Structure 1
Amino acid sequence: MIGMSISALAKQGGVGVETIRYYQRRGLLQAPPRPSSGEARAGMRRYGEGDLRRLRFIRAAQVAGFTLDEIGELLDLDATRDRSRVHVLATQRVAALDAKIDDLQRARNALSRLAGRCGAPDAGPCPILDAFDPR
């Protein structure tokens, strides 16, 4: 197999080319070496299945809420099989997600109360607009 261009890798990984370059700058993905001038497709880097697998790992970890720094650590831990540290990271991420869910639930409840009061046709200015006005 000759390998994939960066655009093919991006397409198969569901990201843009600039995202791949960003991951490379962050050290999450390696840029393959450029072929020498005597080789076919000189100058074009080719990516393999391992690169695609790593890209999909990064994307799945992001969906799970991990930061790019945490994903870098997870990728490093994958090589060592340090399950205890992975467990700690996952537990911390669950706690952070729970806190975010609590914050979002409080915001939702507050906005819902304001929306109920704003829907009343009778009295003065809308309480939602007043709540957001820093006067």
Structure 2
Amino acid sequence: MEGLTISQVAKGANVNIETIRYYERRELISDPPRTESGYRKFPQEVVEDIKFIKRTQELGFTLEEIKNLLAASNHKNFRSVEMHDFVTSKIKEIETKIHDLHQMKTLLEDLAEKCPGSGVSKEECPIIKNFKGVN
């Protein structure tokens, strides 16, 4: 039986073995066939799938989103319209997060400006007061 051992996959994808096991449990990669002696033999493609998973995680995709992306990219009846819809939705989500982060940054900058510095009790600290909803 041809295939890669789990340690070969780990080395090829630059991850540790526990990462591979975790991806198996989350069904991001398929459970590989086993040899008669019980060793798992992974197909070569799993190395590229794991690299894909790691890269999309770095970009901020959830594991469920990655699972769907992998399924779409590995499916014989790939539909680019579904991929376009997914990406468009993700762009809107990112824009909302950027907007929310910008608002948070503005609030924190304003609070930092109002902070008198050392020597203020927590009851008088404008940052704590704001977070507690006290004016």
Look up the equivalent residue of 1:108 and give its one-letter code.
Answer: K
CA separation of 1:127 and 1:8: change in aligned 2, threshold 3 A:
farther
Deviation at 1:58, TM superposition (A): 1.5
CA separation of 1:134 and 1:5: change in aligned 2, threshold 3 A:
farther
> What is the aligned partner in structure 1 of residue 29 from structure 2?
29
- 1:100 aligns to 2:60 (yes or no): no
2:111 to 79, 94, 114: 114
Q: TM-score, normalised by structure 2?
A: 0.77
Work out the percentage of aligned pairs sharing the same amino acid: 36
| 2:111–2:127 contact (8 Å) kept in structure 1 | yes
> What is the aligned partner in structure 2 of residue 40 from structure 1?
none
Q: How many residues align?
A: 130
CA separation of 1:50 and 1:129: change in aligned 2, threshold 3 A:
same
CA separation of 1:123 and 1:75: change in aligned 2, threshold 3 A:
closer
Deviation at 1:23, TM superposition (A): 1.7
- 1:69 aligns to 2:64 (yes or no): yes
Q: Distance in 1 between matches of 2:98 and 2:131?
A: 22
Q: Distance in 1 between matches of 2:129 and 2:97?
A: 25
Within a 5 Å distance, the mapping from 1:1-135 to structure 2 comes to: 3-37=3-37, 43-78=38-73, 79=75, 80-119=77-116, 125-133=124-132
| 2:33–2:42 contact (8 Å) kept in structure 1 | no
CA separation of 1:15 and 1:106: change in aligned 2, threshold 3 A:
farther
Root-mean-square deviation (CA), in Å? 2.7
Q: Distance in 2 between matches of 1:16 and 1:134?
A: 45
SS at match of 2:28: coil
